[in-house]
Amino acid sequence: MEHLKQLSIFIALILRHKPETIGISLDEHGWADTQALIEGIDHTGKHTINMEILEEIVRTDSKQRYSFNADKTRIRANQGHSVPVDVELQASTPPEILFHGTAEKSVASIRQEGLLPQSRLYVHLSQDIETARKVGTRHGKPHIFRVAAGEMHRQGYAFFLSVNGVWLTKAVPPAFLEDV
């Protein structure tokens, strides 16, 4: 299990941020060639991988981070990219309230400039406080913001729901943020 977790983290790095780490590239929609991914990871000598293991990761990953195409010849991350790809996200009407978990050290700056995507393509928002707390804890002592997503949407801001249930938007101005 631990090996699969480590391997999934490595695959996230490749499919969201640095495909060049194993000498592969992503197409404009974020797809990598499945065989090239397997061979590239295998050549690092750091992980045991084959199609069966990759299928297990896609099926069991705790956040459903990856998808295959229909015939499984290609694979991509569902969201979270820093490289500019278009994963054909679906624009949707968000719930009235979403949440964003961050670290206390970022709070002053967020109150001033709002939420910015930083190194990623979008700001990531959670549907519940518990998930937001987990996301924030990755960065330090957590702080949760309530995001007036419904109001933003009515004012014309676009929201997208990734296939693994993460809400994404380009930025959140401070006026739509409140402390939880």
Which residues form the interface with ligand HQG (CB under 6 A)? 12, 63, 65, 80, 102-103, 106, 109-110, 113, 115-116, 118-120, 124, 135, 138-139, 166
Residue nearest to ligand HQG (CB): 102
- To the nearest whole angstrom, how small is the minimum distance from the Cβ of residue 104 to ligand HQG? 10
Query: Which is closer to ligand HQG, CB of 31 or CB of 66?
Result: 66
Distance CA 162, CA 126 (A): 11
Query: Which is closer to ligand HQG, CB of 31 or CB of 99?
Result: 99
Query: Which is closer to ligand HQG, CB of 31 or CB of 167?
Result: 167
- To the nearest whole angstrom, how small is the minimum distance from the Cβ of residue 180 to ligand HQG? 14
- To the nearest whole angstrom, how small is the minimum distance from the Cβ of residue 111 to ligand HQG? 9
- To the nearest whole angstrom, how small is the minimum distance from the Cβ of residue 85 to ligand HQG? 16
- To the nearest whole angstrom, how small is the minimum distance from the Cβ of residue 71 to ligand HQG? 25
Query: Which is closer to ligand HQG, CB of 34 or CB of 162?
Result: 162
Query: Which is closer to ligand HQG, CB of 8 or CB of 73?
Result: 8
Distance CA 126, CA 107 (A): 17
